[in-house]
Amino acid sequence: MAIKTNKGISMDGKRTMTMGEFKQWLKKFDDDKDGHISKEELRSVIYEIGGRFGRWKSWRGMQSADADGSGFIGEKNMTNFVDFADKYLGVRILHV
């Protein structure tokens, strides 16, 4: 588990969030308010955090998280998406 500092950044430089905070943060990128994150919405997430290679990372995120091939990341894909967020988005989910 990452050690959380008082600024929400772990010792390894990743943003730290609880699962609830992470889901709430993702909701602001759900433009059509359907409860799912599309590849285009994921690209917005990547650019919001200052990420590079948005097209590739959004494609990779869908490949990693979208286990059922629906083209969207929803509640049932969240575990896979957490792994992607840790590796590519610099977001560490704290399990408290």
User: Which 3 state secondary structure label does DSSP give 85?
Assistant: helix
CB 84 within 8 A of CB 64: yes
pTM over 0.85: no
Within 1-96, strands assigned E span 15-18, 37-38, 72-73, 91-94
Q: Which domains does the chain have, with CATH numbers?
A: 15-94 (1.10.238.10)
Residue 3 pLDDT exceeds 80: no
Give the pLDDT confidence of 47-92 residue by residue, as tens digits: 887 777 778 888 888 888 888 889 899 888 888 888 888 888 888 9
Residues 6+ apart with CB under 8 A from 20: none
36 pLDDT tier (thresholds 50, 70, 90): very high
Average confidence score pLDDT of the chain? 83
Residues 6+ apart with CB under 8 A from 11: 2, 3, 5
